[in-house]
Structure 1
Amino acid sequence: MTFKQFRKEKDPLGEIKIPFHAYYGAQTQRAVDNFQISGIRMPRPFIKAQGIIKASAATANLELGKLSEPIGIAIIQASEEVIAGKWDEHFLVDVYQAGAGTSFNMNTNEVIANRASEILGDALDSSNKKVHPNDHVNLSQSTNDTYHTAIHISAAEGLVQHLLPALSQLEQALHKKAEELMPILKSGRTHLHDAVPMRLGQEFSGYAGTIRDMSQRIEGCLGSLYNIGMGGNAIGTKINLHPEYIPKVMKEICQRTKLPFQEPPNMFTFMQNTNAPIQTIMALKELAIHLIKITSDLRLLSSGPRTGLAEITLPSVQPGSTIMPGKVNPAILEMTHMVCCQIIGFETAISTAGMAGQLEINVLMPVIAYTLLHSIELLSNALSTLVTKCINGIQANGDKCQEWMEASLSLVTALSPTMGYDLASQIGKQADEENKTIKQVLKENGLLTEEIEKKLDPRKMV
């Protein structure tokens, strides 16, 4: 028996050779040949979303009598296998592909059509298969509505199932750490110089509040992502569409995702713009900016351990130097910072791609899809790692916090109401020039009364 390496299939441009056991077809093969660009394929959540769309469309078309029962059932089964990830290796189209995602949509249509035909008894190399990728799998659809919809579905699922839980986990960890560290008094700092006392737990409560605010901001993006233009077809005019198709396909998508997707208020707005992905990446960029601030703070607070602030100690996760024995670096914080830098760059990519929308469609949706989903994945993974390998294990160095607080020149701030700003400034200046504490200078100048000493108690300043 001769082993066949290739089979031949046709598309509107003619005949082309395809690996014999591939479930994709001619148009996918042309895209693979044309776009040898990055080797990066669309991520699993996007493939899953396409499977959800195809299964939902087939269900609606079956109910409306536009597909025969055997073909409709076979398409649904094949689509559900795509949802489950059974055929991921057959989704080969590069992220950087033909505009609007036509190549990837056809990759999906061909895989599902060939698998559905196989379910109905056809071999992969049959010349007249029962299921056609355009006539059956893509029925009532266009790349322009389905690809856009797949971005919204996969991004919404990514936020709900991964990023928002990771943010909640981080907020809770920071809040718990704030409560744990609340008894520790320390010097605050502004402009990286001495400021009035505060509680270490108050510092961490600020971080927790920032993450809570960002969770709400990102959750607010779901409203736009839940608008999906299934049925808009090529440009939003719903051409070739059964009047009951949209409500049926929407109901099926909602049932399969357990999320409240709906028809957009204006179908043409949906088709023309990628505002929901832009809004979402903007929120992710803002999150990245705040995370850089928080992780930079934690690196400063843990700096040393002998020559820095050393007010907190981070968990040791790995050796930090190939030349300095025993050195341990803030590796998890550094990783998080790098991820955030990448997210900020990704926002630029999506924003500039969003500007490429012309007339009825944005042709750069593939790079928007990939970049948005990769951003959600990166942040979700980074935040979970940040919590489990860093935040949960942070410990306070109470002695060091007290040492810095007592040495702080800004303790003199408590004397302004009694002594006036000018005299308090002179005391602070003298303490700085003579490398003494505020109390020492007051005592030497005969100003350290019982009332003044009470005012200098840091616990009364927080």
Structure 2
Amino acid sequence: MNSSNQYREEYDTLGKIMVPKEAYYGSQTQRAVDNFQISGLRFPRSLIRVQGIIKASAALAHMEIGKLSPEMGGAIIAASEEVIEGKWDDQFVIDVYQAGAGTSQNMNANEVIANRASEILGRSQENRVHPNDHVNMSQSTNDTFHAAINIAAAENLVHKLLPAISQLELELDRKAEEFMPILKSGRTHLHDAVPIRLGQEFSGFADTIKSCRQQIERNLDVLYEIGLGGSAIGTKMNTASGYTPKVIKEICNRTKLPFREPSNLFGFTQNTNAAFRTVLSLKELAIHLIKITSDLRLLSSGPRTGLAEITLPSVQPGSTIMPGKVNPAILEMTHMVCCQVIGYETAISTAGIAGQLEINVMMPVIAHTLLQSIDLLSNAIPTLITKCVSGIQANEEICKNWMEASLALVTALSPKLGYDLASQIGKQADEENKPIKQVLLEKGMLTEELEKLLDPRSMV
């Protein structure tokens, strides 16, 4: 390498290129930086960390089967562990929107780890660690980057999103129990319906979140399939004998998760099934969160001119013009996050359509959008819990007033009076703006039996 004040010369199959002198990355990374000035977006820490895990695990496997010397393998592992820890995050510089399959991102990792490992060994020519020959030994972008998506997604689900979802489920269950004594009017089509307990309403929210959690947990199994050792198209070309089980075993040791070889390497290489299934379950969660947060906004609407059956914690002023106004800010934030996740599902599904023959080259955008979806939900849900759900209070008197004014109470009279007569009573109550019980009283129809039927407690 020829050095200057700011740059050094490097050479690859396309010729000479200038690389920042202090950079640990090399020529292929620099070409990607030059070619893809697109969004300014970079892959998240979780993916870079997993790239380090894969490279360290591969080096250990090759040491065990005699393909790397202890000295060189140890240096690669040491450099990879620095990547795992985040020491070299500033050296991962390629835009998310890059050449297909993630080749540039894989080479970014290979070059950083190779140059750092060479530095650890003393940077002599005989100690030089080559990014392709040594760090990428028995690997292809097509198996390592694909595996990195699955590993990073599984780790983020297990350690971040699923605990957050479980906590939301528990908090909604707690609120359901707290609010179970409170009777209120149910609503269908946004109009009066038969009574319900406020706690029952919240128990429905909790069970919905439980169902989403269980679906995500089921989808974890397909994420645990990683096709390391399949090489470029699943044929294991240039993969060292005995490498695959050893590299997967070490990844399991490092992540404490049950990763395994796929039943068919060609199917794994051709399709990013795990990403599709995962993002679909995230979309389902987002849809239900929108429904729940929208319900909470309706139930808390007012405080004087809406339903006002519950009160949300006040977290910040809601208007630059109306003094004292407080809006459901946390619910609005959650709704926006869910809109983004639903949009990301469309991006991943569209990318899935682009799979052709032996590979889907759209893996970079799949990786970014999947991991971003998990991160957004993992951050939004704890905020939703701590700054909103945990502090929700019931307005019991308002619930009672709305319930007693509900025309749907007439439903309880149908078995006794018949549908037609009950309908007439309900219509008269609506036209005269009177409670059902008052209309019955004025008609001389209010018997003890009917009065018991109109008791909301008998309807829930």
TM-score normalised by length of structure 2: 0.98
**Kept in 1: contact 2:181–2:197 (CA 8 A):** yes
Distance 2:125 2:382 in 1: 50
Distance 1:168 1:241 in 2: 41
Correspondence list, 1:21-420, <5 A: 21-122=22-123, 130-420=128-418
Q: In the alignment, what sits opposite 1:444? A: 442
The CA deviation at 1:4 is 2.8
The CA deviation at 1:400 is 0.4
Distance 2:219 2:196 in 1: 35
Report the residue type matching 1:75 in the other structure: I
The CA deviation at 1:94 is 0.4
Runs ≥4 residues deviating over 4 A = 126-129
Segment drifting more, 17-26 vs 320-329: 17-26
SS in 2 for 1:323: coil
Q: Identify if the C-alpha distance between structure 1 residues 35 and 128 changes in structure 2 by more than 3 Å, giving closer, same or farther.
A: farther
Report the residue type matching 2:432 in the other structure: E
SS in 2 for 1:18: strand
**Kept in 1: contact 2:4–2:21 (CA 8 A):** no
Report the residue type matching 2:369 in the other structure: T
Distance 1:94 1:426 in 2: 68
Distance 1:87 1:221 in 2: 32
Per-residue deviation, residues 24-69 of structure 1 (Å, max 9, x unmatched): 0010000000000001011100001100100000000011110111
Distance 2:8 2:313 in 1: 57
Report the residue type matching 1:188 in the other structure: G
The CA deviation at 1:20 is 1.0
Distance 1:158 1:293 in 2: 25
Distance 1:24 1:128 in 2: 20
The CA deviation at 1:129 is 5.8
Distance 2:161 2:190 in 1: 32
The CA deviation at 1:242 is 2.4
Correspondence list, 1:423-462, <5 A: 423-462=421-460
SS in 1 for 2:22: coil
Distance 1:78 1:4 in 2: 26
**Kept in 1: contact 2:121–2:127 (CA 8 A):** no
The CA deviation at 1:5 is 1.4
**Kept in 1: contact 2:42–2:95 (CA 8 A):** yes
Report the residue type matching 2:116 in the other structure: R
The partner residue of 2:419 within 418, 421, 432 is 421
Distance 1:358 1:49 in 2: 26
Distance 1:431 1:127 in 2: 94
The CA deviation at 1:403 is 0.3
Per-residue deviation, residues 347-390 of structure 1 (Å, max 9, x unmatched): 00000001111000000100000000000000010101000000
Residue segments in structure 1 that go unaligned for 5+ positions in a row? none
TM-score normalised by length of structure 1: 0.98
Report the residue type matching 2:37 in the other structure: Q
Per-residue deviation, residues 11-33 of structure 1 (Å, max 9, x unmatched): 11112111111100010000000
SS in 2 for 1:15: strand
Per-residue deviation, residues 400-441 of structure 1 (Å, max 9, x unmatched): 000000000000111111111110000000000000000000
Distance 1:455 1:357 in 2: 62
Distance 1:420 1:280 in 2: 51
SS in 1 for 2:16: strand
Per-residue deviation, residues 294-315 of structure 1 (Å, max 9, x unmatched): 0000000000000000000000
Distance 1:240 1:20 in 2: 33
Distance 1:3 1:274 in 2: 44
Distance 1:430 1:191 in 2: 21
Per-residue deviation, residues 137-172 of structure 1 (Å, max 9, x unmatched): 000000000000000000000100000000001000
SS in 1 for 2:17: strand
Report the residue type matching 2:109 in the other structure: T
Report the residue type matching 2:90 in the other structure: E
SS in 1 for 2:302: coil
The CA deviation at 1:3 is 8.1
The CA deviation at 1:127 is 7.0
The CA deviation at 1:243 is 2.6
Per-residue deviation, residues 254-312 of structure 1 (Å, max 9, x unmatched): 00000000000000000000111000001100111100000000000000000000000
RMSD: 1.0
SS in 2 for 1:41: coil
SS in 2 for 1:307: coil
SS in 2 for 1:361: coil
Distance 1:137 1:30 in 2: 20
Per-residue deviation, residues 219-260 of structure 1 (Å, max 9, x unmatched): 111111000000000100001222311110110000000000
The CA deviation at 1:112 is 0.1
**Kept in 1: contact 2:283–2:345 (CA 8 A):** yes
Distance 2:125 2:380 in 1: 49
Distance 1:241 1:146 in 2: 12
Report the residue type matching 1:327 in the other structure: K
SS in 2 for 1:386: helix
The CA deviation at 1:128 is 7.1
Report the residue type matching 1:25 in the other structure: G
Residue segments in structure 2 that go unaligned for 5+ positions in a row? none
Distance 1:294 1:241 in 2: 50
Number of residue equivalences: 458
Per-residue deviation, residues 197-218 of structure 1 (Å, max 9, x unmatched): 0100000000000000000001
